[in-house]
Structure 1
Amino acid sequence: MSGALQWVRSLIFIVLMYTAMAVIGIALFPWALLSRRGARAGCKAFCAYVRWSAAWMVGLRTEIRGTPPTGEVLIAAKHQSFLDIILIFSAVPAGKFIMKRELLWTPILGQYAMRIGCIPVDRGKKGAAIKKMVADVARGAEMPGQLIIYPQGTRVAPGVAAPYKIGSGAIYAAVQQDCVPVATNVGVFWPRHGILRKPGTAVVEFLPPIEAGLPRAAFMERLETEVETASDALMKEAGFAR
């Protein structure tokens, strides 16, 4: 398939993806307002549509590896693009994300995020922001589910080094739950920016849990080592070379 044709297919895929987000979101919005189950159903329907349409429209298949958790855990994941959000949420029964507060104002997405229990956080002075984030997580614990955090705080392109922020360690200490690391290679096929979506197999891999109760520094070191090592292996498998 030529590069130009793949770009056109990618553009059509993206337009239809956001159209589907609007259609599904509006159609199920009354149910979402009445029931968190309805909100989750709407989000999972959208995730299923994206995975299905990506496979036949742009040749991008998706795969979940490892054992997705079903109980009360913290999930700390590598974040490369919107696709890893879709794959992680589709794999767990009651996912809820730590997210930027600005996303609350995104039409449809923001309303559904709040209904499924996502926790918005402010960006600001490091100490104050972390303290408030931990307090918000404690309040959000009233809603059972799998709390998903991106330790690097933003999308990071394949091959780019970015530090793991201490907020994930603070939350790990606060919730006192096991943490399931998640690796991915989705950025090889679905970049942070731009239109082109490449064919291949995008993978999200749930790794063995890190037990609760480790010292914060030991947890952070183990988390970064395990996620980065596994993500590098997945990207190499996908043909990416640093």
Structure 2
Amino acid sequence: MSNRSNRQTPGSLGPWQYFQNILYYLNCAIATLVIGIVGLPLVALRGRRAANSVATFWIGYMLWAARVHLGVTCEVRGTPPTQDCIIAAKHQCFLDILVIAHAVPRRAFIMKKEVMRVPVMGWYAYKVGCIPIDRARGRDALRAISDQVQQRRETPEGLGQLIIYPEGTRSRPGEKLPYKHGVGTLRAATALPVVPVAVNAGLFWPRKGWGVRPGRAIVEFLPPVDSTMPTRQFMAHLQDEIETNSDRLMAEAGFPAQTN
């Protein structure tokens, strides 16, 4: 069951802020097209390393534009991993995707297969090592993902930092969604370390991306979870770590403390 606060982020947007929201998305659309097209021959020649370089530049531009147009700055706490691992993160909005991906050198996502079919963006997602998931296949999909993870680990570039959202979707600030078993299953199958990540970005950037408010969004990389834990204990510990620390970051930004 979900636990939602009835309190909303205080304040409302004025006409100028709405105008800046529009400018931001126009800027992003044009920049994505230009950067994506300019980077195509480089990636075609040099593969995943070049794709990651283009992605790093694109993400950095998106974050810069968010600061300029929307007044949203971002702070990264903790130690972003550089080794092959699974990153299990709280997911509130598009902004936390950008910040986490920008903080690690070889980011890759498990994403819906439909996204991989999007022109330009889907091609880059494939090139940086993102893994498509067909949710309709259930456990068969997890087995296929585990196989792909193992194959990527055996390549010269390695797997990288595989980013997973255990809730399976974006959640509102204060909302508690049940964690899906996929991250636990993948951990058990691959023996990869799991790094939890807490966020408070949803206080400033709504789930649907419209009506962004100025503020300082925080993404915090937490210590890796004990690799010897049984899967059930691991899932309970992972959820507690992510939710407790996300609540702490939201409270730090003025959001009311959550009660169960």
Q: TM-score range, shorter-chain basis?
A: over 0.9
Matched residue, 1:180: 195
Cα RMSD of the aligned pairs, angstroms, is 1.5
Which runs of 5 or more residues in structure 2 are unaligned? 1-11
Aligned partner (choices 37, 50, 57) of residue 45 of structure 1? 57
CA contact (8 A) 1:11 1:196 kept: no
- Determine helix, strand or coil for the equivalent of 2:136: coil
Q: 2:176 aligns with which of 161, 166, 185?
A: 161
Partner secondary structure for residue 124 of structure 1 = helix
* Cα distance in 1 between the residues matched to 2:98 and 2:207: 14
Supply the AA of the counterpart residue of 1:149: I
Aligned twin of 2:7: none
Which residue does the alignment assign to 1:92?
104
Structure 2 counterpart of 1:112: 124
Could you state the TM-score of these two structures normalised by the residue count of structure 1? 0.95
In structure 2, the CA distance between the partners of 1:45 and 1:194, relative to structure 1 (3 Å rule), is closer
Task: Quote the Cα distance in structure 2 between the aligned partners of 1:167 and 1:79.
Answer: 15
Which residue does 2:239 correspond to in 1?
A: 224
For structure 1, which runs of at least 5 residues remain unmatched after alignment? Answer: none
Aligned residues: 242
Q: Contact conserved, 2:13 with 2:213, CA < 8 A, in 1?
A: no
Q: CA deviation at 1:56?
A: 1.9
Match among 42, 67, 72 for residue 31 of structure 1: 42
Q: Is the 8 A contact 2:78 2:220 kept in 1?
A: yes
- Post-superposition offset of 1:211: 2.7
Which amino acid is 1:165 matched to?
K
Q: Spell out structure 1 runs of 4+ moving beyond 4 A.
A: none
Give the counterpart letter for 2:14 in structure 1.
G
**Residues 1:170 and 2:185 aligned together:** yes
1:16 shift after superposition = 0.6
**Of 67-76 and 222-231, the range deviating more from structure 2:** 67-76
Given the alignment, which residue of 92, 95, 118 partners 1:80? 92
1:13 aligns with 2:24: yes
Structure 1 counterpart SS, 2:218: strand
Compute the displacement of 1:52 (Å): 1.2
Report % sequence identity: 45
